[in-house]
Amino acid sequence: AQSVTQPDIHITVSEGASLELRCNYSYGATPYLFWYVQSPGQGLQLLLKYFSGDTLVQGIKGFEAEFKRSQSSFNLRKPSVPWSDAAEYFCAVGAPKGYLNTGFQKLVFGTGTRLLVSP
């Protein structure tokens, strides 16, 4: 079964500084990987996803993530963070053949990283 670890519960960055949020996964083969963002009291919005191919994935709002098989990681990065990026970020992993090889996609989510942006 797959699992996800987001080791940082909170991260604070200065407005305009760069950002990297860590995500480590456990899965026996190449997984499907996702990053979602959640503003307070809202649903989750997809930032980017990795299924196969180029290991550097570009997403919305200027975010990117790099899949590193050797490190079982899928870290999220952004070169310059505005105040409006303050939110909670979730990494999720899915299995290519789906849940119990049924083809149905079950996502396992990390516990999230709360990003605070200081002025």
CA atoms of 64 and 60, how far apart (whole Å): 8
In this complex, which beta carbon is closest to other proteins, that of residue 10 or of residue 68?
A: 10
Q: How many CB atoms lie within 10 A of CB 106?
A: 13
Is 32 a residue that touches other proteins (CB under 8 A)?
yes
**Taking CB under 8 A as the rule, does residue 96 contact other proteins?**
yes
| The two structure tokens encoding residue 82 | 């505005």
* C-beta closer to other proteins: residue 68 or 106: 106
Q: Residue with structure tokens 């996964």?
A: 25
Amino acid at 44: L
Part of the chain binding other proteins (CB under 8 A), chosen from 12-20, 43-51, 60-68, 73-81: 43-51
Which listed range, 13-21, 39-47, 56-64, 72-80, lies at the site for other proteins (CB under 8 A)? 39-47
Q: What is the DSSP letter of 31?
A: P
